[in-house]
Structure 1
């Protein structure tokens, strides 16, 4: 449902009518689709209990009705992470020839990690779609896959559409360009879309995400502010602004926006993940662990966020000396098959290195590297990061030097920036200046990401080298390593 619809006079009057009847203890007899719109509005604004009460009563009143059951199915898979429950609701839908039924089944499959099955299902259903509805079908299916970052499938279905002048088509082009790293084209598309419809929150939010990906943080925050001016409760805009603020080091303000997001979306783990990020930056480990524990409880097991939460929690528990709890967290990662065997070896090595058991750590790092196969470079990078986090800076630098040329030409960036950071902490000014110059020339965005804390906040990454030359103390104070 479009954000604009919730701001319309029509919807506001309908909501007012509904709430007036509910305030008297009754339930209004309204159209099933209207009641579903109200339930979606409540959910969108974090009023989950009211949303479920509304939709469950609607399903009782209109058994077999498409949209109430589709909403309940999506809630089951996206919030509860329960595909079986989601299918149980979907299969109650009477009209199994409706396009929205097709989309519901496909989304359950995609959210459950069965993208190939969803592709096959939607290709089979294409033959059942009326010719007049095919354009809508192509764009809707492309949008569905785009929502889950399935860009290969998005491109496939978008290529079927001939409605190239529609805003939906252009938006998908912008999203594809962004996912493929063609930021300039994507930004051009979304700026054009904003010119066409300046009150569309979604376009501003996409632009903010795009600007954030390019580390244009102030511009991203400004785009989020435009979105929030249109709708102060737009949770995507709230989250985007929080992410921008935390990257700028404005932690207190970022925390306020993450808490605001959590209030708007109490069942979304992203709020607690952001709060944990702030507390980690402020070295408030206990609070960060508490926030990650809350995020873990909210996050569906099949979500990509689930493993990220467990990994961060493992790192924090290890750093806080809570090794038994960290080991329990590692077992969860292993049981969820959220990491390769090589990655598990690296994490075990990290745990031992945190306890200064160097021999055991090096054995696990060796096992990680010997079992990595084609992922050898990536595992070497993980070993380097693990060693760095434990204070073994020289070893970390040596490991990364083995792969940096491969890494920076491949799918990862920031190798030389990481090495420059190691130079700085080792107090090797000569290497620091040489590698800083190389980093800034090669990848100024990575330089900003890795090295921004070493320089004034307002300084552009392209000026880092000149600044370092003018400040002879930079790169001369060695980090007190646990073991050099």
Structure 2
């Protein structure tokens, strides 16, 4: 929460970090309290420097065997980075004082990640029932925060409702996060604006506001909120990355590169900056430069990075566009081999690359495999149609989008913008306008991304329909 974010920017923490890093560089022994060493581990974690985070926590656990804070951190790192339930449990078992709240929270997290939801709920309810009233106040906030961290807003909300301190800043901040996770962006932004009115110099509040505005597709206000956060703390990596992402979404690629560069300088051990820098260069058709930064992202990322699939995909796209089809296909194979990858999506990507190199038969074979293996998933059919469109087969893409959108239910929201651009290219104006209207209604973000190909820069998204109607 906000207090902890502020602590990591405090003079006390910076002095501790300097002592620790100086001792590490000189190979000297340094004595520090386990909580202070764990704070240093958390700091490295926030910078994407997983190896140094683990080193600091292991050092603390070695100095203080059985100490709660470093072992709880290591347990969470095993869950988050390695998806290793057994290893996480081994660290948790080493915690000496099993009555400490942090031990209870870690045990619950292990159950949640292991998909033992009912067991986790019974475990937490059992401990809650045993607490004194004054301890219950912090417990419900902490458990709500835990569930919110795992993107489980319904469970988070259930625990938060038990709190009686509804005007407390921690309560309100958590409520704002839950509202955002549930897609209630206006309610979320009202909460964070109220918190900012009380504490206008809180970077974490501005960052949460910027994130909500970005998800609501209010990109200009999101950038403005990020700028307030940067003004408060010019080294706030979250604010800098938020602003870079906003500039990217607006198509201001040159300025986006500047902010991604700032993020890379602040977090050189986090491959995210290099990956996004490369993606921006790809959109500028600066392929050779993009390849350099993708290779750097690949080099930084460890074997447990959640970015590996995206890195491999972008490498495949870039190498293919540079004419290196076989190397590109090797990266598709690398992505396919990752446990978390969607094998059907990867087969579509393989087909896309073949189609890009005019190997229609191989592309068709891949697309058919993806459709068959996915049990004719409409999402996979959509990805194939997009690939066909991107490769310039407009008439075929038109037929595919028409067939797809005629078969899905009324809740379906993807593909209408692509149908619109196909119709525009084929001179089917009435169909185009109908598809544009639907796209703006059900998926304005897709409309902005796709229809910008047929609408001049500077036309507001809300005016796309009128512009195309009157052109």
Confirm or deny a common fold (TM above 0.5).
yes
What are the Cα deviations for residues 289-314 of structure 1, in whole angstroms up to 9, with x where unaligned?
Answer: 44344445555666654433333333
User: In 2, Cα distance between the equivalents of 1:169 and 1:102?
Assistant: 21
Instruction: Quickly say closer, same or farther: Cα 1:22–1:354, change in 2 above 3 A.
Output: closer
Choose from 207, 210, 221 the match for 1:208: 210
Choose from 284, 288, 291 the match for 2:290: 288
Contact 1:80 1:300 in 2 (8 A): no
Choose from 215, 239, 242 the match for 1:240: 242
5+ unaligned residues in a row in structure 1: which ranges? 472-484
Contact 1:6 1:12 in 2 (8 A): yes
Q: Which residue pairs with 1:117 in the alignment?
A: 116
Q: Which residue pairs with 2:64 in the alignment?
A: 62
TM alignment of 1:178-327, pairs within 5 A: 178-296=180-298, 298-299=300-301, 305-327=307-329
Deviation at 1:381, TM superposition (A): 0.6
For the residue of structure 2 that corresponds to 1:94, the secondary structure is coil
Deviation at 1:400, TM superposition (A): 1.4
Instruction: Quickly say closer, same or farther: Cα 1:186–1:81, change in 2 above 3 A.
Output: same
Q: Which residue pairs with 1:387 in the alignment?
A: 388
Contact 1:259 1:271 in 2 (8 A): yes
Instruction: Quickly say closer, same or farther: Cα 1:7–1:360, change in 2 above 3 A.
Output: closer
User: In 1, Cα distance between the equivalents of 2:28 and 2:350?
Assistant: 58
Contact 2:269 2:300 in 1 (8 A): yes
User: In 2, Cα distance between the equivalents of 1:469 and 1:274?
Assistant: 36
Of 176-185 and 201-210, deviating more is 176-185
Deviation at 1:335, TM superposition (A): 2.8
User: In 2, Cα distance between the equivalents of 1:164 and 1:126?
Assistant: 21
Instruction: Quickly say closer, same or farther: Cα 1:7–1:133, change in 2 above 3 A.
Output: same
Q: Which residue pairs with 2:404 in the alignment?
A: 403
Instruction: Quickly say closer, same or farther: Cα 1:77–1:445, change in 2 above 3 A.
Output: closer
User: In 1, Cα distance between the equivalents of 2:295 and 2:410?
Assistant: 37
Contact 1:46 1:263 in 2 (8 A): no
Deviation at 1:460, TM superposition (A): 1.2
User: In 2, Cα distance between the equivalents of 1:30 and 1:153?
Assistant: 37
Deviation at 1:27, TM superposition (A): 5.0
Of 179-188 and 422-431, deviating more is 422-431
Contact 2:378 2:404 in 1 (8 A): yes
Q: Which residue pairs with 1:482 in the alignment?
A: none
5+ unaligned residues in a row in structure 2: which ranges? none
What are the Cα deviations for residues 32-52 of structure 1, in whole angstroms up to 9, with x where unaligned?
Answer: 323433443455457777766
Contact 2:81 2:304 in 1 (8 A): no
User: In 2, Cα distance between the equivalents of 1:51 and 1:363?
Assistant: 46
